[in-house]
């Protein structure tokens, strides 16, 4: 079997600007991914076929982004037992709140790990997929820990600058 990969599914091509950060996170960790536009409502048969095919080819995690009714993650979770991460897209009159509720309110036994609305959620989806894959990949686990340490160092450096400014007031 080939190296595991993550499938990043978007309900519309308009989701790509938000999901670009997901792809960057995955690429930064050296995680193979595929990105595809598919719809739970407009192309359900194609979505179903892709999920089955992706599983057979080594997909270990699905990240599904959608706005408005946002049924893509739930539809994918109904097809696969692989982890599904839902990213609610911040669009429409409710700015993603409808997508959040559509993504997170799954029936018992068909989970979708739902992240925040918009770009912060998209970034976290990439990190969560990396953490899921890191369960079976020690080198990836080390890389995730190192990235977390870099993030902490950035915050500590910002605090040091703040403390310096405060001391000079």
At residue 89, the pLDDT reads: 97
Q: What is the pLDDT of residues 36-85, one digit of tens each?
A: 999 999 999 999 999 999 999 999 999 999 999 899 999 999 999 999 99
Task: Indicate yes or no: pTM above 0.85.
Answer: yes
Task: Count H helices and E strands in the chain, helices first.
Answer: 6, 5
Residue 39 to residue 22: CA distance in whole angstroms: 19
At residue 3, the pLDDT reads: 85
Mark the binding-site residues, compressed into ranges: 12, 15, 42
At residue 138, the pLDDT reads: 97
Res. 165 pLDDT band, cuts 50 70 90: very high
Q: What is the pLDDT of residues 88-141, one digit of tens each?
A: 999 999 999 999 999 999 999 999 999 999 999 999 999 999 999 999 999 999
**Exposure of 81 by Cβ count < 10 A (0-12 exposed, 13-18 middle, 19+ buried)?**
exposed
The structure tokens listed for 54 are: 């992706």
Q: Is the pLDDT of residue 8 over 90?
A: yes
- Enumerate the β-bridge partners of residue 32: 5
Q: Is the pLDDT of residue 1 over 60?
A: no
Mark the binding-site residues for substrate, compressed into ranges: 12, 15, 42
At residue 113, the pLDDT reads: 98
Residue 15 to residue 40: CA distance in whole angstroms: 14
């Amino acid at each position: 079997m080939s190296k595991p990969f993550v499938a990043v599914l978007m309900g519309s091509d308009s989701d790509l600007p938000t999901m670009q950060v997901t792809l960057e996170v995955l690429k930064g960790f050296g995680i193979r991914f595929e990105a595809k536009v598919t719809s739970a409502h407009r192309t359900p048969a194609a979505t179903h076929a892709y999920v089955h095919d992706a599983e057979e080819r080594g997909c270990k995690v699905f990240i599904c982004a959608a706005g408005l009714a946002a049924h893509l993650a739930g539809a994918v979770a109904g097809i696969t037992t692989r982890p599904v991460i839902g990213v609610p897209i911040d669009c429409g009159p409710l700015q993603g709140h409808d997508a959040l509720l559509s993504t997170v309110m799954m029936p018992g036994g068909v989970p979708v790990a739902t992240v925040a609305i918009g770009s912060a959620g998209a970034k976290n989806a990439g990190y969560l997929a990396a953490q899921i894959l890191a369960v079976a990949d020690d080198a990836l686990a080390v890389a995730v820990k190192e990235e977390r340490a870099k993030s902490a160092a950035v915050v500590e450096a910002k605090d040091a600058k703040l403390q310096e400014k405060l001391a000079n007031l």
